[in-house]
Structure 1
Amino acid sequence: MRRDGRPAAPQAWSQAPTPTYRPGPPRQQPVRPRQQPAPTRVPQPQQRDWAPTQQPQRFTDGAAVPPRGTAPSRGPQGTAPSRGPQGTAPSRGPQGTAPPPAPPRRRPPAPPQPAPRRPLGARRILRRIGALLAVLVVLTGVGLFYLDGKLSRVDALVKYDGRVADTPGTNWLLVGSDSRVGLTPEQEQELATGGDVGAERTDTVLLVHIPPGGGSTTMVSLPRDSYVDVPGYGRDKLNASFALGGPQLLVQTVEGATGVHIDHYAEIGFGGFASIVDAVDGVDVCVPYPIDDPLAGLTLEAGCQELNGAQALGFVRTRATPLADLDRMNNQRLFLSALLSKATSPWTFLNPFRLWSLASGAAASLEVDDGDHLWDLARLAWAMRGETVTTTVPVGGFEDVDGVGNVLLWDRERAVPFFDAIAEGEPIPAELVAPAP
């Protein structure tokens, strides 16, 4: 516009004044509020909140008919049909409707897992232990009957006129013979038996008394050279009765000399004795003095040591000691106590291999009376495993007898009350018991 108020003539674009750029204040960026994460929407299964309605009625007055597939009629007051949960579209009617939603996919079932093993309770453990013990008892019983049939038997306890009546307690006569039956020449050489020496004789005669009602078992050595009356043969050595009439005459001679009724009889030979010792893997014995006996094949140092079968046999047979036969009887009682202690120990009973070897070895090596069984031997071993009184018959001295040789005499004044106490089932008086070696 000009100064006079009239409008100015239009100017060309090129003549327009160029606007001058004036920087303004710096523009601040708006601070955008920190957006919170949108809540997780859990899809919900669709539910129908209305049943499909009938088809809208067609007009018959020429009006246009609503095409098929159009939206269903609105509800009352012109409102739109209600939607499903979470704003989903409503399900359509049967004609021209959309397919129903697919069912939710299910995870495949997990493979079955083994049920966790519950810890055994005390009652279940006791039941299992009881069942195991029952099986062991049955097997032991079967084994005992089987091995009992393997025992060799002899009619040792025969009836005869004037036999000693039954006495209190249980009395065993244990005999160790010098029999070589069943031994090969190599075994005889290994055991140093000396070969065949004619009629069998007894190297060991032991009287074992188990008192009635409990108490200490008594083991008495009867020296084989004891000068006694042999029924039908006069006076002779004790072991001569075995050579003349076998076990029957030996039992009769012992009963007549002691006045004690014998209830059980057991005999073992050289080979059987060694096999029983080997069956328990040797026996520990404390030897009181060094022994060197070439005839018995024995060389031992003084002190405690383990003896195998051959060494044990030489130990109970040797007479190469200061007191000869007296030391021999002491060694026999000492070794038998050690053998029975190991045979009845828990280490033997809990080891089925050792127990079976011991039982089978005893069954094959022992000869018993017709009325004796393997369980009788087990009761004997159990009675001797505890405190046992070991002694010998009171000795009166030695004498040379024509036709008989050197014999051992009993001290009759002390021997009579000694055996009377055993016959009555009472303890032997302490003053009559021989001191331990």
Structure 2
Amino acid sequence: MAGRPPGKGGPEEGTPEYDWLYGGTGAPPPDDATRTVPQMSRPGPEETRVMPAMSRPDQARGDREQAPLREPSPGYAPPPPSSPERGSRGRRPRLPRPRLRWIVWALLLWLVFLVAVPFWAWTKVSKVEAFPDGERPAEQPGTTYLLVGSDSRADLTEEQRRELGTGGDVGQRTDTIMLLHTGRGPNLLMSIPRDSIVEIPGREGTDKINAAYAYGGPALLIRTIEQNTGIRVDDYVEIGFGGFVGMVDALGGIEICPTNAMKDPDANLDIPEGCQEADGGTALGYARSRKTSAQLGDVKRAQHQREVVSAIGREAVSPWTVVNPVRYYRLAMASSRSFDVGEGTSALSLGRFAFAMTRVDGRNGLTCGVPIRDLAVTWDEPRSQEMFEHIIDDDTEGIPEGLCTPSGLPRP
């Protein structure tokens, strides 16, 4: 092309047909589509537009309330509600799996502990030959336990004997004799005064019932009770002074409610009137003392013994015993060292005995003494035989109110 240096791709200045491109006066060719872009003018201040104001939510809500509702078209179905997302407010947070696993394992271990400790304690319980040979009463409905509190000091040290005021060995006799009957009716805990005068098999004449233990041990005592009452003894449980104290201390004490102030130097007892907490030593003195009640003597002591036994039962099955592992273990171990049981007594039977002892406190069962006619604890033959028949027939529910009394004496 003329007027353009070789190798240059653009038009050369001075060429007539391109003067308009370099500011000349020439006009662009009519058929050329290249045109200058017109310059846009900026809006002035008066042309600035204002954004429309948004209505407030409450105002919009009012507008919606005023607006008529449209009827849904036929066949319209509302969409299903969307499920809340994980972690939203409406959903309960889940425990992490590792934490939940530890909780399950802890509960399983706790159950194993609750079951294993009593069975371990059972292996420590002493067994004695308690049941006599020869003729005995026939099997009877219900279960009757013989609970004996031995006055042996063999399980006490010299220091403990001084602290508890038990003195030295005076021959092994029974300080406490009780029959616990369980069956269809209310549980019955009946005291047999240790000074009761009865016939002892193999001995001439009569003697105090607790002498049977000294003469022939548990077997002769069971034979004596069965011969004089007609009640068959199914299981035998014996506890000594030391075991009694250990059980009460393992429970952290029990509540006793003396009706008068009691001071007995022989039992190391000095307590005021009214309900109070008692440790093992105080509870033992409370159950042993009979000099603080000149009128009732041994009868009153038997009432205190039943009161203490019931209190031990209530504390043993309290929720705190199960929740507190230390108390649970100490009670189980103290019980294993406290009891001697007959060879025929099983772990299950002893467990039933322990549970039955929690239901003899007057609200859940009956507590009374053998019916007597005087404070010399002479058995009242008609009334005592009536009581024995109710036990033999497993009819504790049918015992008349005046027959089962705390002292054993008839109600005035």
Same-fold call, TM cutoff 0.5: yes
Question: How has the CA–CA distance of structure 1 residues 127 and 265 changed in structure 2, closer, same or farther, with 3 Å as cutoff?
Answer: farther
Q: What is the CA–CA distance in structure 2 between the aligned matches of 1:125 and 1:394, rounded to whole Å?
A: 62
Of 218, 221, 224, the residue aligned with 1:250 is 221
Q: What is the CA–CA distance in structure 2 between the aligned matches of 1:312 and 1:129, rounded to whole Å?
A: 40
Q: What is the CA–CA distance in structure 2 between the aligned matches of 1:311 and 1:268, rounded to whole Å?
A: 17
2:353 matches 1:385 = no
State the secondary structure of the residue aligned to 1:410.
coil
State the secondary structure of the residue aligned to 2:321.
helix
Of 109, 113, 117, the residue aligned with 1:135 is 109
Q: Which runs of 4+ in 1 moved over 6 A?
A: 123-130
Q: What is the CA–CA distance in structure 1 between the aligned matches of 2:389 and 2:109, rounded to whole Å?
A: 46
CA positional deviation for 1:200: 0.2
Q: What is the CA–CA distance in structure 2 between the aligned matches of 1:266 and 1:296, rounded to whole Å?
A: 24
Where do residues 26-425 of structure 1 align in structure 2 (5 Å cutoff)?
A: 33=44, 119-120=93-94, 132-160=106-134, 162-197=135-170, 199-212=171-184, 215-234=185-204, 235-320=206-291, 321-322=293-294, 323-386=296-359, 387-397=364-374, 408-425=377-394
Q: What is the CA–CA distance in structure 1 between the aligned matches of 2:280 and 2:299, rounded to whole Å?
A: 22
TM-superposition CA deviations, 1:273-316 (whole Å, max 9, x none): 01100000000111111101001110010011001111011000
Q: What is the CA–CA distance in structure 2 between the aligned matches of 1:144 and 1:125, rounded to whole Å?
A: 30
Count of aligned pairs:
317
- The residue aligned with 2:402 is 431
Q: Which runs of 5+ in 1 are unaligned?
A: 1-29, 37-114, 399-406
Q: What is the CA–CA distance in structure 2 between the aligned matches of 1:378 and 1:309, rounded to whole Å?
A: 22
State the secondary structure of the residue aligned to 2:328.
helix
Question: How has the CA–CA distance of structure 1 residues 32 and 415 changed in structure 2, closer, same or farther, with 3 Å as cutoff?
Answer: closer
- Give the % identical residues: 42
Instruction: Give the letter for the 2:167 counterpart.
Output: G
Q: What is the CA–CA distance in structure 2 between the aligned matches of 1:120 and 1:227, rounded to whole Å?
A: 72
CA positional deviation for 1:165: 0.8
Q: What is the CA–CA distance in structure 2 between the aligned matches of 1:183 and 1:173, rounded to whole Å?
A: 24
Q: What is the CA–CA distance in structure 2 between the aligned matches of 1:181 and 1:302, rounded to whole Å?
A: 32
Q: Which runs of 5+ in 2 are unaligned?
A: 1-40, 49-86
Q: What is the CA–CA distance in structure 2 between the aligned matches of 1:222 and 1:397, rounded to whole Å?
A: 14
Q: What is the CA–CA distance in structure 1 between the aligned matches of 2:106 and 2:344, rounded to whole Å?
A: 32
Q: 8 Å contact 1:154–1:369 — kept in the other structure?
A: yes
Larger mean CA deviation between 124-133 and 415-424 belongs to 124-133
Provide the aligned C-alpha RMSD in A: 2.9
Instruction: Give the letter for the 1:425 counterpart.
Output: D
State the secondary structure of the residue aligned to 1:242.
helix
Instruction: Give the letter for the 1:314 counterpart.
Output: G
Q: 8 Å contact 2:155–2:240 — kept in the other structure?
A: no
Q: Given the two structures, how large is their TM-score scaled by the length of structure 1? A: 0.67
CA positional deviation for 1:166: 1.2
Q: What is the CA–CA distance in structure 2 between the aligned matches of 1:346 and 1:420, rounded to whole Å?
A: 37
Larger radius of gyration: 1
Q: 8 Å contact 1:363–1:374 — kept in the other structure?
A: no
Instruction: Give the letter for the 1:308 counterpart.
Output: D
CA positional deviation for 1:231: 0.6
Q: What is the CA–CA distance in structure 1 between the aligned matches of 2:43 and 2:383, rounded to whole Å?
A: 127
- Larger helix proportion of the pair: 2
